[in-house]
Amino acid sequence: MAPRFSESSQLTQFSELSLAKPILKALVEADYEAATPIQAQVIPAMTGGRDVLGVAQTGTGKTASFVLPLLQKIAENPAQPVPKGCSALILAPTRELASQIADSIKVYGRHIRHSRTVIVGGAKPGPQIRAMARGVDIVVATPGRLMDHMQSGAVRLDQTHTVVLDEADQMMDLGFLPAIRKILARTSKDRQTVLLSATMPKQIRSLAQDFLSDPVEVSVAPQSTPIERIQQKVLLVQQPQKARALLDILKNNDVESAIIFTRTKRGADKVNRMLQQADIESEALHGNKSQGQRTRALNGFREGRINILVATDIAARGIDVDGVTHVFNYELPNIPESYVHRIGRTARAGKSGIAISFCDSGEREYLRDIERLIGMRLVDADDDDDPDTRAPSSLKGRGGQKSRGKSKGPARAKRPHKPKARSAAPAYPEGERDAARGNAEGASRGGAGGRARRVDGAAEGGRRTEGAGKPRRQGAGNKQGAGNKPNRPAGGGRSADARSGEGRANEGRPGQKGRPERKSRSGAGRSEGGRSDTRARTGESKPAGGRGKPGGRKPSTGGKPKAGGRPGGSGGPGGQKGGSRRPTRSTPAR
């Protein structure tokens, strides 16, 4: 079972940790005398060659806890590293944190001869490759850029015997776990692995066990608990009112140095523009900024030229600046552990600080997760149940919580069900089928029988169409002609075959109104023209009265298409076929 260290076994003086004299001299010059609890427990474990799993509050000196043992090994065994290799590797999630770790190595190792380099993205790879060509004692890197150099052959890790994963849970949360596995697979099998972080959730702890061998677990304080010197406040405001509330606090309170955190890079730029428009000096720090921009913004904030820094969660763990008086959570983080890292930017080096969070109705779940993690309530129960601060139901979508406040208007009563009155006529499709069926019967029976059936079908409830019960307009073309059938229905109109053809054309198109009939060219003429075309195809001579003499060209079929039969078609007397739209120009009978 892995041994555990508690705060009761801590060593308070660096002189009692068996560190080399050059290291102790550098600590004295940096005004470091007493070791913090995490330092007092991790340093002996690392110098003894054990793997370490450390959990400590932010701002308690985790960086020095693993940097000092690495420098101690270099002081005891000053060996030249292999070309393109390193003796110790430190992985960090962000560029800022990697740079700060390198600065700490420089401060603590000023009296020890050693080499170090930083390998991070956003910088030119050429200088990094040249630095690794001759071998380095300590490499501080981010996983992405280190993998690039490993794939190109510029970095080898087979002689790396110590690996430190700083902010290990954050690297795993950011998706670096596959890269970390590949990196550890390239290192020496007898390596020493150290995982240190401010938070270590259970699911992250299970993943961390894959990297450690019989680790020494160091837990200085309860997991993810903020330090006591931070005064935490939560303001329940809706999203549109956050900007005004932030400006009021910045202008009406003594805010010497503040960091404003947002969830997204776009949100950080938006807040930064809003502050600059209000004549407040500020800078934005997030992943979309170049390395030069991020360095200038962080240095300006550290040196006091900039009082307000707007940052995202990715930069929360890389900002180590003393003297930050306020931390604003403009948007609550969706990961509860990130809240601990955010507010940990203040109250550093034994000072106190203030953390103010803005929470709208859509962030209540985030707030409850944070309260469960830190073990304390940030909002009173009465304020949390205030109906005025709840989100309207329209913003919740389906399944959202209902409003407990007063209704804006009287509830609308349900309309009583009123059955529709049934008309005497049946539905349209049935009547239309009756009308079409009447047309077909009229075509077979001929004469008045079909017409009477159509009228009856329309009277029984079907909609009237041109082919079902509508009275025909009488015109010159309906007079007795030479080619008309003798059993033509009384009362005038076109022949039964023409009507039956029209009925067949309208059948299958219920709802389409019939086209108006042409007054010119009677049905007799069309029947005559149909017989003329039939005789022409069979070799008979054409009758007189056409456009040309017998034996001339066929009658012209140009002009606008008319309803009627196709020239020379079969399917009835006169060659008419129902549904055709290109009749021939017939010759009037003599």
Confidence band, pLDDT 50/70/90 cuts, at residue 544: very low
Q: Who has greater pLDDT, 414 or 202?
A: 202
Tell me if 230 sits within 8 A of 355, measured CB to CB. Answer: yes
pLDDT in tens, 206-216: 767 788 888 99
Residue 225 lies in a domain: no
Beta bridge partners of 310: 260, 284
**Which domain does 37 fall in, by range?**
4-219
Same domain? For 173 and 103 the reply is yes
Please state the pTM of the whole predicted model.
0.59
Same domain? For 571 and 435 the reply is yes
Residue 192 burial (CB count, 10 A): 22
Same domain? For 503 and 570 the reply is yes
Distance CA 432, CA 467 (A): 10
* DSSP 8-state assignment for residue 16: G
Question: Of the segments 34-38, 220-224, 350-354, 429-433, which one has the largest average pLDDT value?
Answer: 34-38
CATH code (residue 195): 3.40.50.300
Residue 557 lies in a domain: no
Q: What angle do CA 359, 362, 366 make, to 5 degrees?
A: 65
Same domain? For 177 and 43 the reply is yes
Confidence band, pLDDT 50/70/90 cuts, at residue 468: very low
Q: Kind of pairing, strands 86-91 and 116-119? A: unpaired
Tell me if 494 sits within 8 A of 465, measured CB to CB. Answer: no
Same domain? For 204 and 269 the reply is no
- Per residue, what are the HEC states of 313-341? HHHHHHCCCCCCCEEEECCCCCCHHHHHH
Tell me if 432 sits within 8 A of 465, measured CB to CB. Answer: yes
Tell me if 325 sits within 8 A of 346, measured CB to CB. Answer: yes
| Among 167-176, 190-199, 200-209, 277-286, the least confident range | 200-209
Residue 543 lies in a domain: no
Confidence band, pLDDT 50/70/90 cuts, at residue 37: confident
Residue 28 pLDDT exceeds 90: yes
Confidence band, pLDDT 50/70/90 cuts, at residue 419: low
Nearest to 369 by CA among 348, 395, 340: 340
Q: Who has greater pLDDT, 297 or 575?
A: 297
- Provide Rg for the chain, Cα atoms: 46
How many residues make up the chain in this entry?
A: 590
Predicted local confidence at residue 340, as pLDDT: 84
Residue 73 lies in a domain: yes
Nearest to 14 by CA among 1, 26, 5: 26
pLDDT in tens, 67-93: 999 999 999 998 889 999 999 999 998
Same domain? For 357 and 499 the reply is no
pLDDT in tens, 505-518: 444 444 444 444 44
Distance CA 364, CA 121 (A): 36
Tell me if 272 sits within 8 A of 283, measured CB to CB. Answer: yes
Residues 321/323/325/326 CA torsion (nearest 10 deg): -10
Q: What percentage of the chain reaches a pLDDT higher than 70?
A: 59
Tell me if 477 sits within 8 A of 522, measured CB to CB. Answer: yes
Predicted local confidence at residue 538, as pLDDT: 44
Residue 269 lies in a domain: yes
pLDDT in tens, 348-367: 766 789 999 999 999 999 99
From 219, 249, 282, give the residue that closes a domain: 219
Same domain? For 62 and 188 the reply is yes
| Among 68-82, 171-185, 406-420, the least confident range | 406-420
| pLDDT, average across residues 302-309 | 92
> Which residue's structure tokens are 């954050």?
170
From 219, 246, 272, give the residue that closes a domain: 219
Same domain? For 80 and 153 the reply is yes
Number of domains in the chain: 3
Same domain? For 347 and 462 the reply is no
Same domain? For 209 and 239 the reply is no
Distance CA 272, CA 283 (A): 6
Nearest to 181 by CA among 196, 199, 168: 168
| pLDDT, average across residues 45-49 | 93
Distance CA 106, CA 340 (A): 28
Residue 182 pLDDT exceeds 60: yes
